[in-house]
C-alpha cells in the first residue's frame, strides 16, 4: 500500500492503495466515480477510457503509480452540466442504446477532437476503432463526432 | 374510435390509491389486460409478455410514469411510458420516468425478451393512460357540475369549452383518485396521436453522457464487499480440491469458500441454465484485491463428462444432418419431386457458438439477512429469478426484493440469472451486502451461448427450371434453428422440414433472435442461389413465391403474412433503386425475413477495398406496424444491422478440451467502428397496424444480404460463419 495524491477532474484526491492498482479501480472503488466502466481489463474494448492530460488512455491497465501529477479527466469531469460539445452532440443524435460503452466512446472522441478538430471519416474510424459497442451505435457515434463543435 | 372494456378482471386491473401527499396513483395488473393467446402462454419462454406499471400525478401536474420492463438498450424505458403519456394526454416535458420495481403483488410479469415489450404492452399501456385520463375528466365534470361528455383534455389540462373553464391535471388529480375505475375507456384515434410517432430522446440520455450511476456494476452500498467466482476452466469439469491459503492471506481478502448455488433436489427452471453449480468464491474489500486473490487460488478440477472440441461437434452435427431427422412439416410429395427433378441444388450452412458479450459483464448486488433478501442489478427475468432465490434461501417470495438497474446490454444473456442466485448465496454466507462481479474472462468462458448450428437446404427444379420441391434439414446444440412453418413453407407445393438437436455439456440458450440469427442467413443465401440457378432476379423470385403464398397458399399454419413480407421487399426494391439505379461498381445483396412479429428487407451495397468488404450503404425496409418512437427505432434498426454483420463476418467461439479458446477481446472479434456500414437508410412501412418489436428482427436477415453481396463481389458463395474467420483477403 502507498499513498498517492491525484488530480482528478480538477480536484486533489488522496488514496492509499496497492501501487499496481489500475486507475480504473481507484476511480470506481475508492473515489466512487463509477462513470468510467470496466469492460475487458486488458485495454481491448475502450470502455474504461479516460483522459490523462489531453490523451485518451485505457484506465484498466494503467497503474495508479504511473499517474504522478498528470491531470485526469473522467466522464464526470468533462463538464459542469453535461454541456461539453461532445456530450451535447451525443444527446442531439440520441446515440446510446444500452449506454454502457458510451462514456468510453465520448472520452475517446473528446481526445480525438482536441488533437484534430475536423477529422475525416477515416480519421474517426482510426481513432475510435479501439472502442467496442455491442449494440452497434457506430453510425451515430460518427455522426455525433462530426457534429460536435 | 376504439373503446376497450376494462372489466374482464376488475379486481386485479386497477387499484386506485390516494397518496399521502395528495395526487393519484394507479396500479394495474397487465396480465389481465393483455389478452395473450393460449399458444403464447404454453410456449413460455419463447414469447414473453405480461407487463406491469403505474403512474402518479403530482399536485403540480408532473406525471411520474413507471416503466415496467427491464431496460437492456431496446429503449423501452422511453417508448413504453410514451404510450401511457399519449393516452393520458400530457405534455411529455412534464413526464418523469422511473424504473418500476419488481412487485408481483401488484404487477404480474416484467421481462425483456422475444422483442415483445411493445407488442404485448401496447393495449395495456394505452388503457392505463386512457383510464387515468377518464378519471381526471370525471373529476372535473363533478367539480364543475357539467356532463363528462363535454369535458376535453389537451397537454395535461382539462377543459370545459362551453363555460371556458380549465384546470391542470395536478389540481384535479386528488379528486380524480377517488373516482371509481370506469367499466370501459375510449382510446385515441391514431390520427390524434401527439406523442406516439414522434421522436423523443432517451429518458436516461443525460445520465449516460455524464457518467451517473445507472448500471448494476455502478451500484454500491455502505459496507458492501466485492465477490468473484472461480469457475471450472472447461465444460464437463468440477471442483476436486482447493488450496486457498495464499489467497486468504492477501490484503483486503475477507474469505474464500465453496458454495453450491442450488439445493440438492432443486428442479431448475429454464432461466436457471448454467453448467456450473459448485463454485469457489473469493470475497474482499475491493475489485482489484479480489481479482488478484482469485488468481492466487490453487484449485484442482476433475473431469465429469466429455471434453468437447470444435472439430468434434462440427463432425457430429454434419452426421446428424446427413440422415433423416424428426419430420416437422410435409406438404405434397417432396420425395417424388426430388426424384423427378432435372436439377437438385444442395447447400450446407454452419455457424459457431457465440458468447453474448454484453459490454457490462454479469454482476449483481445482494444483501441477504435472516428474514429477507435484497437484490439489485441487471436481469432480464427478475420474476423468474425471484422464485429461484426464494427456493434457494428458503424464504417466502414476498421477502425477496429484486430491483432492476439499467442493463449494459442483454441480448438474451441476462435471461439466465444464475449470477443472481450466486450473489444471494454469497451474501448469505458472508452475512454482509456484496456485489458479485464477473471478469470479462468469466463472462466469455462461462456463458450460456448461442448454439452452434448446421443446416442443409435442397431445392428441386424441373426441366423447365421451375421450383418443384424444397427440403430443409438441420439442427444445433440443444436447440433447433428450423422454423418449419415459416417462409418458404406455404409457397412451394412439395416441402419437407426436419430437425434434430445434439446434447452437449456446453450451456446454450437464447441469443438475440434465437434460431433466426442463423437460419435467416442460410435461407436467404440459399434462395439467392436458387434464383440464380433459375435465371431470376432474386427480388422478383421471392415476390413470385409470396404471390403464390398469398393467392393459393400450400398447407396450413403458415407463420407469416405474405402481403406484409412482399411489402417490405417491394419497399426496399424501390428505395434502393434495385435493378434500376444500381450504383456502378457496387456489389448488391438482398434478403428479407420475418421473425419476432416484424418484417424486414435489406439491400447491402458492398465494394472491396484492399481485399476487405466495405459496406457503403444498407437500405432497410421495416414493417413493425406503428412506430412509437421513430428516431429511437431507427437507432435500434441500425444497431441490429451492425451487430448482425459483425457476428457473421468476424465472431466465433471455438472449444478445445471443453474450454473456450477465446476469453477476451484480444482473441474474440466484435465488429469495430471502421467495419460498420458507412450509411444505413431506414424506411418504415406506414400501415397503422398495432406495433411489434425491433430488438431481434434486424440482425437475422442482414446475414443473407451480406453473403449475397459477398458472392457478387467475389464470385464465391460463403456458407460457414464467420465468413472472415481467418482474416481472408477477398477478390
**CA–CA min distance A142, chain B (Å):** 8
The answer to whether the Cβ–Cβ distance between A136 and B640 falls below 8 Å is: yes
The answer to whether the Cβ–Cβ distance between A135 and B643 falls below 8 Å is: yes
- Which positions ≥6 away from B199 have C-beta within 8 Å? A94, B629, B630, B631, B632
Helices first, then strands: H and E counts in chain A? 5, 5
Going from N- to C-terminal start, the domains of chain B cover 2-200, 216-304+362-437, 324-353+449-714
Alpha helices in B179-244 (DSSP H): 205-209
Confidence (pLDDT) at B108: 52
Name the pLDDT band for B59 (thresholds 50, 70, 90).
confident
**CA–CA min distance A90, chain B (Å):** 7
Do residues B471 and B262 make contact, with C-beta atoms less than 8 angstroms apart?
no
On the question of pLDDT at A114 being above 80, the answer is: yes
Q: What is the CA radius of gyration of chain A?
A: 15
Query: Kindly report the CA angle at B158 between B156 and B161, in degrees rounded to 5?
Result: 135
* Strand-strand pairing, B363-368 and B434-437: antiparallel
The answer to whether the Cβ–Cβ distance between B664 and A98 falls below 8 Å is: no
The answer to whether the Cβ–Cβ distance between A41 and B439 falls below 8 Å is: yes
Report whether the peptide linkage leading into residue B722 is cis, meaning its omega lies within 30 degrees of zero: yes
On the question of pLDDT at A149 being above 90, the answer is: no
On the question of pLDDT at B452 being above 90, the answer is: yes
- Measured between CB atoms, which of A25, A28, A125 is closest to B674? A125
Q: What is the mean pLDDT of residues B659-676?
A: 98
Joined grid coordinates for residue B596: 419476432
**Number of neighbours of residue B557 by Cβ within 10 angstroms:** 9
- Best mutation target among B208, B218, B295, B651 (most A Cβ atoms within 10 Å) is B208
B677 close to A (CB below 8 A): yes
Name the pLDDT band for B1 (thresholds 50, 70, 90).
low
- Digit-coded pLDDT (tens) for B30-57: 333 333 333 333 232 232 222 224 688 8
Confidence (pLDDT) at B472: 98
The answer to whether the Cβ–Cβ distance between A97 and B640 falls below 8 Å is: no
**From residue A43, how far is each of A92, A103, B524, B666 by CA, in Å?**
29, 15, 38, 9
Supply the mean pLDDT for chain B.
91
The answer to whether the Cβ–Cβ distance between A18 and B642 falls below 8 Å is: no
Q: What is the mean pLDDT of residues B77-81?
A: 95
The answer to whether the Cβ–Cβ distance between B205 and A90 falls below 8 Å is: yes
Identify which of B602, B689, B610, B667 has the alpha carbon closest to the alpha carbon of residue B640: B602
Confidence (pLDDT) at B729: 78
Domain B216-304+362-437 grouped into CATH 3.30.70.240: no
Confidence (pLDDT) at B24: 56
Query: Which residue(s) pair with B435 in the sheet?
Result: B226, B365
- Measured between CB atoms, which of A29, A79, A96 is closest to B202? A96
Q: Whole-angstrom Cα distance, residue B134 to residue B273?
A: 45
* Strand-strand pairing, A49-52 and A55-58: antiparallel
Do residues B478 and B451 make contact, with C-beta atoms less than 8 angstroms apart?
yes
- For chains A and B, CB pairs below 8 A equal 191
On the question of pLDDT at B29 being above 50, the answer is: no
Here the ipTM equals 0.99
Q: Element (H or E) spanning B475, and its range?
A: strand B467-477
Do residues B560 and B567 make contact, with C-beta atoms less than 8 angstroms apart?
no
Name the pLDDT band for B6 (thresholds 50, 70, 90).
low
- Measured between CB atoms, which of A100, A102, A132 is closest to B209? A102
On the question of pLDDT at B104 being above 60, the answer is: no
Q: What is the mean pLDDT of residues B408-426?
A: 98
The answer to whether the Cβ–Cβ distance between A40 and B664 falls below 8 Å is: yes
Confidence (pLDDT) at B96: 86
Confidence (pLDDT) at A85: 98
Q: Which residues of A touch B639 (CB under 8 A)?
A: 97, 135-137
Query: Which residue(s) pair with B617 in the sheet?
Result: B605
Identify which of A96, A124, A121 has the alpha carbon closest to the alpha carbon of residue A108: A124
Query: Kindly report the CA angle at A61 between A132 and B406, in degrees rounded to 5?
Result: 45
Identify which of B19, B5, B2 has the alpha carbon closest to the alpha carbon of residue B54: B19
Domain B324-353+449-714 grouped into CATH 3.30.365.10: yes
Do residues A99 and A79 make contact, with C-beta atoms less than 8 angstroms apart?
no
On the question of pLDDT at A8 being above 80, the answer is: yes
User: What is the chain A residue with the closest CA to B208?
Assistant: A99
Q: Is B403 exposed, middle or buried (0-12, 13-18, 19+ CB in 10 A)?
A: middle
Q: What is the mean pLDDT of residues B253-279?
A: 95
- Digit-coded pLDDT (tens) for B127-158: 889 989 999 999 999 999 999 999 999 999 99
Confidence (pLDDT) at B30: 37
Name the pLDDT band for B10 (thresholds 50, 70, 90).
very low
Q: Which of A42-56, B8-22, B41-55, B239-253 has the lowest mean pLDDT?
A: B41-55
The answer to whether the Cβ–Cβ distance between A1 and B251 falls below 8 Å is: yes
The answer to whether the Cβ–Cβ distance between A136 and B639 falls below 8 Å is: yes
Q: Whole-angstrom Cα distance, residue A51 to residue A72?
A: 6
Name the pLDDT band for B178 (thresholds 50, 70, 90).
confident
Confidence (pLDDT) at B109: 57
Does A2-77 match A85-147 in CATH topology?
no
Alpha helices in B369-411 (DSSP H): 382-393
Q: Which residues of A touch B636 (CB under 8 A)?
A: 97
Architecture of domain A2-77: Roll (3.10)
Q: Which residues of B touch A82 (CB under 8 A)?
A: 206, 209-210
Q: Write the class of the CATH domain B2-200.
A: alpha beta
Query: Which residue(s) pair with B165 in the sheet?
Result: B160
Q: Whole-angstrom Cα distance, residue B366 to residue B474?
A: 42
Confidence (pLDDT) at B56: 85
On the question of pLDDT at B90 being above 70, the answer is: yes
- Which positions ≥6 away from B11 have C-beta within 8 Å? none
Q: Which residues of B touch A128 (CB under 8 A)?
A: 673
The answer to whether the Cβ–Cβ distance between A128 and B632 falls below 8 Å is: no
User: What is the chain A residue with the closest CA to B676?
Assistant: A138
The answer to whether the Cβ–Cβ distance between A44 and B638 falls below 8 Å is: no
Confidence (pLDDT) at B99: 87
Going from N- to C-terminal start, the domains of chain A cover 2-77, 85-147
Q: Is B297 exposed, middle or buried (0-12, 13-18, 19+ CB in 10 A)?
A: middle
Name the pLDDT band for B23 (thresholds 50, 70, 90).
low
Percentage of chain B modeled with pLDDT above 90:
82
Confidence (pLDDT) at B105: 56
On the question of pLDDT at B682 being above 70, the answer is: yes
* Strand-strand pairing, A2-8 and A71-73: parallel
Matching residue, cell 376504439: B2
pTM assigned to the model: 0.94
Do residues B699 and B450 make contact, with C-beta atoms less than 8 angstroms apart?
no
Q: What is the mean pLDDT of residues B356-381?
A: 97
The DSSP call for residue A30 is I
Q: Write the class of the CATH domain A85-147.
A: mainly alpha
Percentage of chain A modeled with pLDDT above 70:
100
Query: CA torsion, points B509, B514, B520, B526, in degrees to nearest 10?
Result: 30
Length of chain A: 149
Supply the mean pLDDT for chain A.
97
Confidence (pLDDT) at B63: 87
**Residue that wins the pLDDT comparison between B83 and B177:** B83
Amino acid at each position: 500500500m502507498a499513498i498517492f495524491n491525484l488530480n482528478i477532474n480538477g480536484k486533489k484526491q488522496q488514496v492509499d492503495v496497492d501501487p499496481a492498482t489500475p486507475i480504473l479501480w481507484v476511480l470506481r472503488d475508492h473515489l466512487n466515480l463509477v462513470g468510467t466502466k470496466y469492460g475487458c481489463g486488458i485495454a481491448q474494448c475502450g470502455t474504461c477510457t479516460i483522459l490523462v492530460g489531453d490523451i485518451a488512455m485505457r484506465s484498466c491497465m494503467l497503474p495508479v503509480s504511473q499517474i504522478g501529477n498528470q491531470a485526469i479527466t473522467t466522464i464526470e469531469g468533462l463538464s459542469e452540466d453535461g454541456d461539453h460539445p461532445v456530450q451535447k452532440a451525443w444527446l442531439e443524435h440520441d446515440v446510446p442504446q444500452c449506454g454502457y460503452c458510451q462514456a468510453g466512446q465520448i472520452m475517446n472522441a473528446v481526445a480525438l477532437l482536441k488533437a484534430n478538430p475536423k477529422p475525416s471519416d477515416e480519421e474517426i474510424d482510426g481513432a475510435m476503432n479501439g472502442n467496442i459497442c455491442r449494440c452497434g451505435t457506430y453510425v451515430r457515434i460518427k455522426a455525433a463526432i462530426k457534429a460536435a463543435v | 374510435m376504439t373503446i376497450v372494456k376494462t372489466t374482464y378482471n376488475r379486481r386485479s386491473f386497477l387499484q386506485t390509491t390516494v397518496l399521502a401527499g395528495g395526487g393519484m396513483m394507479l396500479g394495474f395488473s397487465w396480465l389481465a389486460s393483455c389478452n395473450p393467446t393460449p399458444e403464447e402462454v404454453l410456449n413460455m419462454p419463447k414469447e414473453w409478455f405480461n407487463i406491469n406499471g403505474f403512474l402518479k400525478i403530482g399536485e403540480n401536474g408532473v406525471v411520474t410514469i413507471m416503466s415496467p420492463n427491464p431496460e437492456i438498450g431496446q429503449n423501452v424505458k422511453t417508448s413504453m411510458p410514451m404510450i401511457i403519456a399519449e393516452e393520458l394526454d400530457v405534455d411529455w416535458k412534464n413526464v418523469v420516468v422511473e424504473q418500476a420495481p419488481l412487485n408481483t403483488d401488484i404487477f404480474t410479469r416484467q421481462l425483456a425478451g422475444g422483442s415483445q415489450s411493445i407488442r404485448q404492452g401496447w393495449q395495456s399501456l394505452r388503457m392505463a393512460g386512457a383510464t387515468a385520463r377518464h378519471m381526471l375528466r370525471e373529476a372535473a365534470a363533478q367539480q364543475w357540475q357539467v356532463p363528462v361528455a363535454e369535458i376535453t383534455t389537451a397537454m395535461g389540462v382539462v377543459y370545459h369549452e362551453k363555460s371556458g373553464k380549465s384546470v391542470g391535471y395536478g389540481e384535479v388529480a386528488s379528486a380524480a383518485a377517488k373516482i371509481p375505475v370506469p367499466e370501459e375507456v375510449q382510446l385515441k384515434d391514431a390520427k390524434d396521436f401527439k406523442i406516439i410517432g414522434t421522436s423523443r430522446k432517451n429518458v436516461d440520455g443525460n445520465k449516460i453522457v455524464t457518467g451517473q450511476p445507472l448500471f448494476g456494476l455502478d451500484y454500491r452500498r455502505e459496507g458492501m464487499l466485492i465477490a468473484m467466482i472461480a469457475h471450472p476452466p472447461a465444460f464437463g469439469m468440477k471442483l476436486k480440491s482447493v488450496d486457498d491459503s495464499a489467497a486468504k492471506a492477501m490484503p483486503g481478502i475477507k474469505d474464500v469458500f465453496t458454495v453450491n448455488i442450488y439445493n440438492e433436489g432443486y428442479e431448475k427452471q429454464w432461466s436457471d441454465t448454467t453448467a456450473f453449480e459448485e463454485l469457489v468464491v473469493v470475497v474482499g474489500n475491493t475489485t482489484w484485491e479480489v481479482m488478484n486473490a482469485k488468481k492466487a487460488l490453487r484449485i484442482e478440477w476433475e473431469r465429469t463428462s466429455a471434453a468437447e472440441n470444435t472439430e468434434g461437434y462440427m463432425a457430429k452435427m454434419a452426421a446428424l444432418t446427413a440422415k433423416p431427422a424428426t419430420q416437422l412439416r410435409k406438404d405434397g410429395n417432396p420425395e417424388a419431386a426430388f426424384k423427378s427433378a432435372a436439377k437438385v441444388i444442395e447447400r450446407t450452412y454452419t455457424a459457431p457458438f457465440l458468447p453474448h458479450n454484453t459490454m457490462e459483464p454479469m454482476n449483481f448486488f445482494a444483501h441477504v439477512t435472516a428474514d429477507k433478501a435484497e437484490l439489485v442489478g441487471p436481469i432480464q427475468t427478475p420474476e423468474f429469478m425471484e422464485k429461484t432465490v426464494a427456493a434457494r434461501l428458503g424464504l417466502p417470495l414476498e421477502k425477496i426484493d429484486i430491483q432492476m438497474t439499467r442493463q449494459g446490454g442483454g441480448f438474451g444473456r441476462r435471461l439466465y440469472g444464475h449470477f443472481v442466485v450466486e450473489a444471494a448465496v454469497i451474501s448469505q454466507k458472508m452475512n454482509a451486502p456484496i456485489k458479485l462481479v464477473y471478469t470479462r474472462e468469466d463472462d466469455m468462458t462461462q456463458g450460456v451461448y448461442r448454439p452452434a448450428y448446421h443446416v442443409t437446404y435442397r431445392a428441386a427444379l424441373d426441366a423447365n427450371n421451375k421450383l418443384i420441391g424444397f427440403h430443409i434439414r438441420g439442427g444445433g446444440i440443444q436447440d433447433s434453428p428450423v422454423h418449419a412453418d415459416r417462409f418458404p413453407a406455404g409457397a412451394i407445393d412439395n416441402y419437407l422440414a426436419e430437425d434434430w438437436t445434439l446434447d452437449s455439456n456446453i450451456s446454450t440458450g437464447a441469443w438475440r433472435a434465437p434460431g433466426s440469427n442463423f437460419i435467416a442467413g442460410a435461407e436467404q443465401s440459399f434462395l439467392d442461389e436458387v434464383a440464380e440457378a433459375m435465371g431470376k432476379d432474386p427480388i422478383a423470385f421471392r415476390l413470385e413465391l409470396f404471390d403464390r403464398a398469398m393467392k393459393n397458399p400450400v398447407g396450413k399454419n403458415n407463420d407469416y403474412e405474405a402481403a406484409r413480407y412482399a411489402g417490405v421487399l417491394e419497399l426496399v426494391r424501390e428505395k434502393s433503386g434495385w435493378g434500376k439505379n444500381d450504383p456502378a461498381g457496387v456489389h448488391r445483396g438482398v434478403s428479407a425475413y420475418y421473425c419476432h412479429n416484424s418484417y424486414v428487407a435489406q439491400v447491402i451495397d458492398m465494394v472491396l477495398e484492399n481485399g476487405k468488404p466495405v459496406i457503403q450503404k444498407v437500405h432497410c425496409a421495416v414493417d413493425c406496424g406503428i412506430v412509437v418512437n421513430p428516431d429511437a427505432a431507427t437507432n435500434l434498426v441500425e444497431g441490429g444491422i451492425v451487430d448482425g454483420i459483425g457476428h457473421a463476418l468476424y465472431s466465433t467461439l471455438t472449444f478445445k478440451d471443453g474450454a473456450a479458446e477465446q476469453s477476451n477481446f484480444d482473441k474474440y472479434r466484435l465488429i469495430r467502428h471502421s467495419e460498420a456500414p458507412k450509411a444505413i437508410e431506414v424506411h418504415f412501412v406506414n400501415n397503422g397496424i398495432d406495433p411489434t418489436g425491433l430488438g431481434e428482427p434486424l440482425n437475422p436477415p442482414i446475414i443473407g444480404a451480406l453473403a449475397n453481396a459477398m458472392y457478387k463481389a467475389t464470385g464465391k458463395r460463403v456458407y460457414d460463419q464467420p465468413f472472415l474467420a481467418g482474416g481472408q483477403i477477398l477478390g
